[in-house]
Structure 1
Amino acid sequence: MAVSDTLIGTVFDGRYKIVRKLGAGGMADVYLAEDQELGRRVAIKILNDRHAADDQFIERFRREAKNAAGLSHPNIVSIYDRGEAEGTYYIAMEFLDGRSLKELIVGRGPAPIKISIEYARQILAAIGFAHRHGIVHRDIKPHNVLVGPEGRLKVTDFGIARSGASQMTEVGSIIGTAQYLSPEQARGAPVDQTSDLYSLGVVLFELLTGQVPFTGDTPLEIAMKHLSEPPKAPSELRPEVPHDLDLVVLRALAKDPSDRYESAEEMDADLERVLQGLPVGDETAAAATAVLSGAGAMAAAPTSIIARPPSAAPPPRPAPPGATPPAGYYGYEGPPRRRRPVWPWVLAVLLLAAAGVAAWFAYTKIQDQLNNTKPVPVPNVIDLRVELAKTKLTEHGFVPKVKPSTSETVPKGVVFDQNPLAGSKLAKNSPVQITVSTGPPQVPVPNVIGKNRDDAVATLSNAGLTYMVVSVHSPKPPDTVTGQFPHPGTHVKKGSKVQINVSTGPQPVTVPNVVGQPFDQASSTLQNAGFGVKRTNVDSNQPADTVVSESPTSAAPGSTITLSVSKGPKQSTVPDVTSEDEASAKSDLQSAGFKVVVQRQTVTDPGLDGIVLSQSPHGGMKADQGSTVTIVVGQTAPPPPPPTP
């Protein structure tokens, strides 16, 4: 089946109802679809007709699905499903209701410096995660970065990404988009993770200035500039760019991969320093200086690579000495005929021409003055982008005056009011005020790090922001804010959500079990494990100074553990039960809280039968309650058996 827009309204692969087309690329078409099994919206990327039978494109398509499916990260578009259906191949992925970063740059121009850094750090988080999993993206560009409604960036299109060990090649081709190619990609050489960092340097340059560092009429011309031409510092195009941010961008754009950042984490650390107003390291400054000096650039490209315009024909060589000039060149027969001078006539013609030109200029000047004072209608520039509106007013002879103003509904950079209104008549060169949206009202994110949870929430609410609490283990005291996103000082739309990380205290660990140990031994064991000890004496049948319980059994390092320690059993006076009968003796001892053990002793006196002869401990002594008292009870010997007859 041919894949086309006839898919809209159909159910693809028995599961995905196609809603509308989102876009098309050189390799695939992307549709918005409803997953009828899971009841969610997804983006379906379907290999287009002309590539559905091309083994190389099919392999690239499968590689994209495989690479991205193995990367689960908040800044990478999630892959839900992949498969083959209706004569082609597809990928079902996360749908983001937003725009590409390229659309934002084209539509809004350069981003605020802090937003540019924040966006770059989110992309670094994504590609750094991919690099740690052995994947090099190889096509980092703003077209492949999607911006969600709350400013969350997600990197997509791992179609030309490769693992570090991959030997797959595409002979004779330069993979990627020319404006964002690394020099090694332009040469067709092997690439590593520093190639992605170079491309990100181009993206950050574009975020800051609204333009890419290298342009040209052909992809080959642009590629040669990546190889041989040093980039400008962003501050040359936008003076408010900090010097240290220039250094970060220029180091990322080093021609030699060994001069760039070694990892996404290293580049992110420098961007964090720039945000905090701290200088970047000497290594970054040295690398950036080398980039500006042209270090690592190739020599000028040979003329066989980029064709030069045809040169003018060489001038004719003079005739050799003695040669006869051709007829009509300058020879004639006989002496020249005397002529009248022509300069008076030339002078007269020039004077007449000058008079005519002066009259013409006088006439046009009078006409211009008349035209400038003649009222003309003001054009309608509402709903136009500011640059287009200014151009239109200027072309009609007016002087545009820009008035910035916030708007909840009108996109940033778009005119939503003008004064005078369209159709009003004014003399040329009159001012026309245009009110341009600066986007929704922005508020700075306050710094709540170090505050307790309640104070942080109150601070955010007072600033017109909402919040989301994430509990984290931390050495900081419980209920203390340890981090926040967006970072302090970032300007965001009023009502935006700020994530705050709130400490729940250090990570709990298991407390050593010391129950049954003597207190001194138990205390030493706990202190060696990093805990404090508190003693509580309790009544117990256990021997004195024995630990009978501990609390808690799981706690953060440095916590205090309470040990319940036996005071030893209670003691009572042992009753004197000698001379009592066995039953009375046992009753008296048990009533006093003692256990009784009976031993028998043979007696000859029948009067001592069943009588307690002695006891241990003796009557009147102190003994632990619950301990054992042994009594010796008399027992007469049985009579001897009668004699046998």
Structure 2
Amino acid sequence: MSTPDPVSSTDQTDGSVIGQPEHPQGETADELRRRGLRSGRLVVLIFLALLGAGVPLLALSPTLNPADLLLGRYRYQDAPELLGMTQPKAIQALVREGLSSSSAFAFSANTPRGEITAQDPPPGEPVRRGGKVKLTVSRGQEDFVVPELVGSTRASVEKLFDNTGVKVEVVEFPSENDVAGEVIRQDPLPGNVLRTGNTLSLVVSMGAERRDVPEVRRLPSDGAAFILGNAGFIVEKVTKERDPFLPKGAVLRTKPAAGQNLNKGTKVELVVSDGPPQAKVPGLVGTQETQAIESLESVGIIAATTTELVNPRDPNNGKVLSQVPDAGTMLDPGDVVELTVARGGAPG
């Protein structure tokens, strides 16, 4: 059995040739080719139009990066490096970049006079195309005539030289005669010239040196005064006070008290024992000798007796006839009262 030829076979229904592609609306192959050529030319024309419009825009971007166009970066450029240039050269460099400038002047310790010491925006930072860069031009080092500073406060001197570029070095030193924080020496002296970067040296008072009051309790007053003097204190006053425990002349305390931190040269008062409290001598005339002695000993006073002979039948026999000192006298413990006692002798 033979296979039918697909090219030569015909459809018996509509008479079309089997195997030939059907064309819409009955177009022939030539007509389709012509229509395809027209569409291709239109696409090329549209592409060329877009390309013609995009090239000038891309030219605005130094990197030819479409992202620069989308983000607006084409409107900016990097600020050039101008630091260290003279002012005229810096301005020329900006003009070449299509930028303008404004200038301010300031003293500088490190940049020579006339050179750029600062710029805004800094090198490499974005600046709008055709925009302005602010220049700071060095005026060189500033000269300062040193005034008289002794007697001024440290704070006022530091404020005076603030933002001048002059370094202020301070050494603090104790001084009994100067207020704390006050300048007592300066270098250089008044009338000398300082420049930016130079150093002004000050010696500032710390006030009087501070010391702790030493402990001198129980010491003899002379020894206590010596120790206080060596510690930098002045014993201005010695006050006596009765004390039942410490002997006469021993230090009871100091005013201000021991351990307090005070300025060197502070005056200190010594409170010294004047011995135990005094006792009042009782009236002993007419009392029996033994009773008189006991009364004196009870207050710490010593009795010393002398005898005066009387008739054994004398009613004063064995009694105190007189006393020295008199009744009511104030005596220290250990002091002596002399008693004259009557004693009976041979009958007369």
1:564 maps onto 2:331 in alignment: no
Distance, in Å, in 2 between the alignment partners of 1:413 and 1:505 is 47
1:348 maps onto 2:74 in alignment: yes
Question: Contact between 1:379 and 1:396, CA under 8 Å: does it hold in 2?
Answer: no
Q: CA deviation at 1:461?
A: 5.2
Q: CA deviation at 1:386?
A: 0.8
1:500 maps onto 2:259 in alignment: no
Distance, in Å, in 2 between the alignment partners of 1:384 and 1:560 is 64
Distance, in Å, in 2 between the alignment partners of 1:385 and 1:565 is 78
Corresponding residue number in structure 2 for 1:538: 307
1:517 maps onto 2:292 in alignment: no
TM-score (norm 2): 0.51
Q: CA deviation at 1:484?
A: 2.4
Question: Contact between 2:167 and 2:197, CA under 8 Å: does it hold in 1?
Answer: yes
Question: Contact between 1:394 and 1:400, CA under 8 Å: does it hold in 2?
Answer: no
Q: CA, structure 1 residues 570+470, in 2 after alignment: closer, same or farther (shift >3 Å)? A: same
| 1:534-564 deviation per Cα after TM superposition (whole angstroms, max 9, x unaligned) | 4534234365532334455444675455453
Question: Contact between 1:545 and 1:565, CA under 8 Å: does it hold in 2?
Answer: no
1:376 maps onto 2:143 in alignment: yes
Q: 2:182 aligns with which of 408, 414, 436?
A: 414
Distance, in Å, in 1 between the alignment partners of 2:194 and 2:106 is 20
Higher relative contact order (CA 8 A, sep 6+): 2
Q: Partner letter of residue 110 of structure 2? A: Q
Q: CA deviation at 1:446?
A: 4.6
Question: Contact between 1:530 and 1:557, CA under 8 Å: does it hold in 2?
Answer: no
Question: Contact between 1:378 and 1:421, CA under 8 Å: does it hold in 2?
Answer: no
Secondary structure at the aligned position of 2:269 is classed as: strand
Distance, in Å, in 2 between the alignment partners of 1:455 and 1:367 is 64
Secondary structure at the aligned position of 1:348 is classed as: helix
Corresponding residue number in structure 1 for 2:81: 359
Q: Partner letter of residue 436 of structure 1? A: V
Corresponding residue number in structure 1 for 2:199: 431
Distance, in Å, in 1 between the alignment partners of 2:323 and 2:179 is 64
| 1:328-377 deviation per Cα after TM superposition (whole angstroms, max 9, x unaligned) | xxxxxxxxxxx997842622334x1xx22x63667699977316983633
Q: CA deviation at 1:501?
A: 2.2
Secondary structure at the aligned position of 1:483 is classed as: strand
Question: Contact between 2:318 and 2:344, CA under 8 Å: does it hold in 1?
Answer: no
Q: Partner letter of residue 75 of structure 2? A: V
| 1:379-405 deviation per Cα after TM superposition (whole angstroms, max 9, x unaligned) | 434332112222333422122221223
Question: Contact between 1:506 and 1:556, CA under 8 Å: does it hold in 2?
Answer: no
Question: Contact between 1:514 and 1:522, CA under 8 Å: does it hold in 2?
Answer: yes
Matches within 5 A, 1:615-626: 623=347
Question: Contact between 1:534 and 1:563, CA under 8 Å: does it hold in 2?
Answer: yes
Question: Contact between 1:379 and 1:393, CA under 8 Å: does it hold in 2?
Answer: no
Q: CA deviation at 1:503?
A: 2.6
1:389 maps onto 2:160 in alignment: no
Question: Contact between 2:175 and 2:209, CA under 8 Å: does it hold in 1?
Answer: yes
Distance, in Å, in 1 between the alignment partners of 2:153 and 2:257 is 30
Q: Partner letter of residue 517 of structure 1? A: T
Matches within 5 A, 1:70-109: none
Q: CA, structure 1 residues 367+433, in 2 after alignment: closer, same or farther (shift >3 Å)? A: closer
Corresponding residue number in structure 1 for 2:116: none
Distance, in Å, in 2 between the alignment partners of 1:433 and 1:367 is 21
Q: CA, structure 1 residues 563+365, in 2 after alignment: closer, same or farther (shift >3 Å)? A: closer
Gaps of 5+ in 2: 1-53, 58-65, 86-104, 113-137
Corresponding residue number in structure 2 for 1:491: 262
Distance, in Å, in 1 between the alignment partners of 2:196 and 2:262 is 40
1:474 maps onto 2:243 in alignment: yes
Q: CA deviation at 1:447?
A: 4.2
Corresponding residue number in structure 2 for 1:169: none
Q: Partner letter of residue 262 of structure 2? A: H
Q: CA deviation at 1:525?
A: 3.8
Matches within 5 A, 1:194-233: none
Matches within 5 A, 1:56-67: none
Q: CA, structure 1 residues 365+469, in 2 after alignment: closer, same or farther (shift >3 Å)? A: closer
Distance, in Å, in 1 between the alignment partners of 2:267 and 2:106 is 61
Distance, in Å, in 2 between the alignment partners of 1:538 and 1:360 is 122
| 1:86-140 deviation per Cα after TM superposition (whole angstroms, max 9, x unaligned) | xxxxxxxxxxxxxxxxxxxxxxxxxxxxxxxxxxxxxxxxxxxxxxxxxxxxxxx
Q: 1:548 aligns with which of 321, 328, 331?
A: 321
Q: CA, structure 1 residues 416+558, in 2 after alignment: closer, same or farther (shift >3 Å)? A: closer
Distance, in Å, in 1 between the alignment partners of 2:107 and 2:161 is 23
Q: CA, structure 1 residues 392+366, in 2 after alignment: closer, same or farther (shift >3 Å)? A: closer
| 1:270-291 deviation per Cα after TM superposition (whole angstroms, max 9, x unaligned) | xxxxxxxxxxxxxxxxxxxxxx
Distance, in Å, in 1 between the alignment partners of 2:295 and 2:233 is 52
Question: Contact between 1:531 and 1:561, CA under 8 Å: does it hold in 2?
Answer: no
Q: CA deviation at 1:507?
A: 3.5
Question: Contact between 1:547 and 1:564, CA under 8 Å: does it hold in 2?
Answer: yes
Question: Contact between 1:375 and 1:425, CA under 8 Å: does it hold in 2?
Answer: no
Distance, in Å, in 1 between the alignment partners of 2:331 and 2:295 is 16
Distance, in Å, in 2 between the alignment partners of 1:382 and 1:458 is 36
Q: CA, structure 1 residues 526+415, in 2 after alignment: closer, same or farther (shift >3 Å)? A: same
| 1:471-522 deviation per Cα after TM superposition (whole angstroms, max 9, x unaligned) | 333333222332322334543353x543222332233232332322223333
Q: Partner letter of residue 453 of structure 1? A: S
Q: CA, structure 1 residues 551+474, in 2 after alignment: closer, same or farther (shift >3 Å)? A: farther
Question: Contact between 2:108 and 2:141, CA under 8 Å: does it hold in 1?
Answer: no
Matches within 5 A, 1:45-444: 343-344=68-69, 346-350=72-76, 352=77, 355-356=78-79, 359=81, 369-370=110-111, 374=141, 376-377=143-144, 379-380=146-147, 381-407=149-175, 410-426=178-194, 428-439=196-207
Question: Contact between 1:466 and 1:498, CA under 8 Å: does it hold in 2?
Answer: yes
Q: Partner letter of residue 369 of structure 1? A: N
Corresponding residue number in structure 2 for 1:455: 223
Distance, in Å, in 2 between the alignment partners of 1:367 and 1:524 is 98
